[in-house]
Structure 1
Amino acid sequence: MSAPRELSNRWQERFAFYDTYGIPGSTPAARDAYRALPFGQKIMLNSNFLAFLFGPIYFFVKGMWRKGLTLLGMGLAVGVVITVADLSDTWSRLAGFGFAGLALSTANYAYYLHVAKNSSSWNLFEGFGRAR
């Protein structure tokens, strides 16, 4: 399915890649196509800096509230464990950056699945992994 017309050019480029190849690295063809892209295109395809900055809020705003709640729940669970274990602030910062990185790297494909494939999954990692 192609990207809807109301999406920006940047989203349309992402959707075109995902329509053709899926997630970069999921198949040999996807890996080769990804490697052929310029560095800026690779960053644009795999990273979403608004998701990095705003985490679950970004997912909520984009209509992916289930995935946003999953990310929020995972973060709260890890925060409780860090608090109960009385770990240092370093661990809480590492966990915060880890969850921000998770949002950064999953948001684009999650949005593609939400818009193009009408996904309503709670799974942040939906579609990730090697294709069979």
Structure 2
Amino acid sequence: MTTQQHSEKWQKRFDFFEKNGAPKTPEFKAALRRLPWYKRFLYNMNVISFFFGPIYFLILGMWKRCLTLIVCSVAIGFILGIVELITGLNLDSLCGLIVSVMWGITTNYAYYLHKVKGYNSWNPFTGIF
């Protein structure tokens, strides 16, 4: 599948994933270590998705993965809510951070699989863990 209609930012990400494989592979991790910290961050995290996760997934056309991540977000909130009730700790900020990071780290590779490989599955964590 061609990726020429995508921006230069996505082209670089797609090329990196094509060359080095999935984020969970040793080849990817080794290639990532050779990059400067800024590029490492950009290949591992999507800042737009960190702040606007569900909206950005829908804009990118990954509605199945979006629904799965919404369910995961609710489950994380529910579990941390129970822990908060038991311990009395305020975990709202922690919950928000965990959910935002989850959205941010899944976007780049999920979009690569969606657009380049044509995988349209419900699993947003494919190749990440």
Same fold (TM over 0.5): yes
- Cα distance, 1:46–1:85 mapped onto 2, change above 3 Å: closer
Q: How many residues align?
A: 127
Q: Is the 8 A contact 1:24 1:34 kept in 2?
A: no
Q: Is the 8 A contact 2:13 2:43 kept in 1?
A: yes
Map of 1:119 onto structure 2 = 119
- Cα distance, 1:35–1:77 mapped onto 2, change above 3 Å: closer
Q: Is the 8 A contact 1:113 1:119 kept in 2?
A: yes
Alignment gaps of 5+ in structure 2? none
Alignment gaps of 5+ in structure 1? none
In the TM superposition, what is the alpha-carbon distance from 1:31 to its structure 2 partner?
2.5
> Quick one: which amino acid aligns to residue 105 of structure 1?
I
Q: Is the 8 A contact 2:57 2:63 kept in 1?
A: yes
- Cα distance, 1:15–1:80 mapped onto 2, change above 3 Å: same
Q: Structure 1 length normalisation: TM-score?
A: 0.83
Map of 1:45 onto structure 2 = 43
Q: String of CA shifts for 1:60-104, please: whole Å, max 9, x gaps.
A: 111011111111112223334455666357223211210100111
Q: In terms of mean alpha carbon deviation, does 3-12 or 79-88 score higher?
A: 79-88
Give the 3-state SS of the residue equivalent to 1:5 in structure 2: coil
Q: Structure 2 length normalisation: TM-score?
A: 0.85
Map of 1:66 onto structure 2 = 64
Q: Is the 8 A contact 1:47 1:108 kept in 2?
A: yes
> Quick one: which amino acid aligns to residue 55 of structure 1?
G
> Quick one: which amino acid aligns to residue 13 of structure 2?
R
Question: What RMSD in Å do the two structures reach over aligned CA positions?
Answer: 2.1
Map of 2:107 onto structure 1 = 107
- Cα distance, 1:114–1:91 mapped onto 2, change above 3 Å: same
Percent identity over paired residues: 37
> Quick one: which amino acid aligns to residue 50 of structure 1?
I
- Cα distance, 1:75–1:13 mapped onto 2, change above 3 Å: same
Map of 2:21 onto structure 1 = 22
